[in-house]
Amino acid sequence: MSTNIVWHECSVDRLERQRLLQQKGCVIWITGLSGSGKSTLACALSRALHSRGNLTYVLDGDNVRHGLNRDLSFRAEDRAENIRRIGEVAKLFSDSGIICIASLISPYRKDRDACRAMLSEGNFIEVFMDIPLEVCEERDPKGLYKLARAGKIRGFTGIDDPYEPPLNCEVVLQQTGGDYASPSDMAETVISYLEEKGYLKA
Ligand SMILES: Nc1ncnc2c1ncn2[C@@H]1O[C@H](COP(=O)(O)OS(=O)(=O)O)[C@@H](OP(=O)(O)O)[C@H]1O
Ligand SMILES: Nc1ncnc2c1ncn2[C@@H]1O[C@H](COP(=O)(O)OP(=O)(O)O)[C@@H](O)[C@H]1O
């Protein structure tokens, strides 16, 4: 525990950074099962916003586990710590004025809500990839569901570990008609939300 520490204020503040970037910093938190399309959406969204002149940064669970979170496993306490750390880093990015896109399973509602509580009202935009387990399992791009079904991976989300869907999130992406929206259509849905809420201007 850190004790005897005092916050040091800097004269260059969030508003000035946002004015420089002509946008508002925020966190877009993409949650969903493995294979639901979180990373694909994160990259499509980052690309689409970048093309419009908006500065973004993607924090992908898989990628952050290669460095900052390499010491964490997939048991509940370690997932909670993974989410907490990514939440704290995302908060710093949003304070810098950047649109931070965090894409990680983040299976527990309590952990996601704790990240929401770190940010000011409105600055945590939760996006739920509402894709059924059967579809994710059918996609299985890394072959992990197959390993989990064979008992070669224990505690795999959706198979023998829980996923708690959001109850009240800002954006839900799901099947429309008989088909799934393309990643770029999904990115446009999120961008429309950001535009409507005024994040894409200072
Ligand atoms: N046991 C278990 N359960 C779920 N996922 C597993 C597991 N073991 C490894 N993987 C791979 O790790 C990726 C998920 O990492 P995250 O940091 O997003 O997970 S979490 O938010 O801490 O739950 C996840 O990546 P995505 O498929 O992109 O979601 C998997 O490739
Ligand atoms: N909107 C989509 N429609 C159809 N397939 C998709 C869509 N988004 C992603 N995919 C495919 O689903 C698989 C999993 O996507 P990925 O982004 O890696 O998911 P996650 O990060 O949630 O594990 C990949 O093979 C990807 O090409």
Interval 183-196 mean pLDDT = 97
What are the phi and psi torsion angles at 183 (to 5°)?
-55, -40
- Condensed to tens digits (0 to 9), the pLDDT of residues 60-87 reads 999 999 999 999 999 999 999 999 999 9
Ligand 2: does its nearest atom lie under 6 Å from the Cβ of 158? no
Is residue 111 within 8 Å of 79, Cβ to Cβ?
yes
Report the chain's terminal Cα–Cα distance, integer Å: 37
What is the Å distance from ligand 2's center to 22 Cα? 31
Q: Say whether pLDDT at 42 is over 70.
A: yes
Ligand 2: does its nearest atom lie under 6 Å from the Cβ of 17? no
Out of 36, 46, 94, 106, the active site residue is 106
Ligand 1: does its nearest atom lie under 6 Å from the Cβ of 69? no
- Condensed to tens digits (0 to 9), the pLDDT of residues 110-147 reads 999 999 999 999 999 999 999 999 999 999 999 999 99
Look at residue 180 in the predicted model and tell me its pLDDT: 79
Q: Say whether pLDDT at 177 is over 70.
A: no
| d(C-alpha 18, C-alpha 183), whole Å | 28
Look at residue 179 in the predicted model and tell me its pLDDT: 77
| d(C-alpha 33, C-alpha 166), whole Å | 12
DSSP 180: P
Question: Which ligand does the CA of 107 lie closest to?
Answer: 1
Radius of gyration of the chain (CA): 17
pLDDT band at 149 (very low <50, low <70, confident <90, very high): very high
Look at residue 176 in the predicted model and tell me its pLDDT: 67
135: part of which helix (H) or strand (E)? Answer: helix 133-139
What is the Å distance from ligand 2's center to 36 Cα? 6
**Mean model confidence pLDDT for the chain:** 97
Helix axes 109-118, 76-95, angle to 10 degrees: 20
- Rounded percentage of the chain residues whose pLDDT exceeds 70: 99
What is the Å distance from ligand 1's center to 31 Cα? 11
| Cβ-based neighbours of 130, under 8 Å, separated by 6 or more | 32, 165, 172, 173, 174
Is residue 173 within 8 Å of 129, Cβ to Cβ?
yes
Look at residue 175 in the predicted model and tell me its pLDDT: 75
Query: pTM higher than 0.95 for the full model?
Result: yes
- Condensed to tens digits (0 to 9), the pLDDT of residues 83-99 reads 999 999 999 999 999 99
Q: Active site includes 106?
A: yes
Q: How far is CA 29 from CA 94, 103, 129, 151, 178, in A?
A: 12, 6, 11, 30, 26
Is residue 27 within 8 Å of 102, Cβ to Cβ?
yes
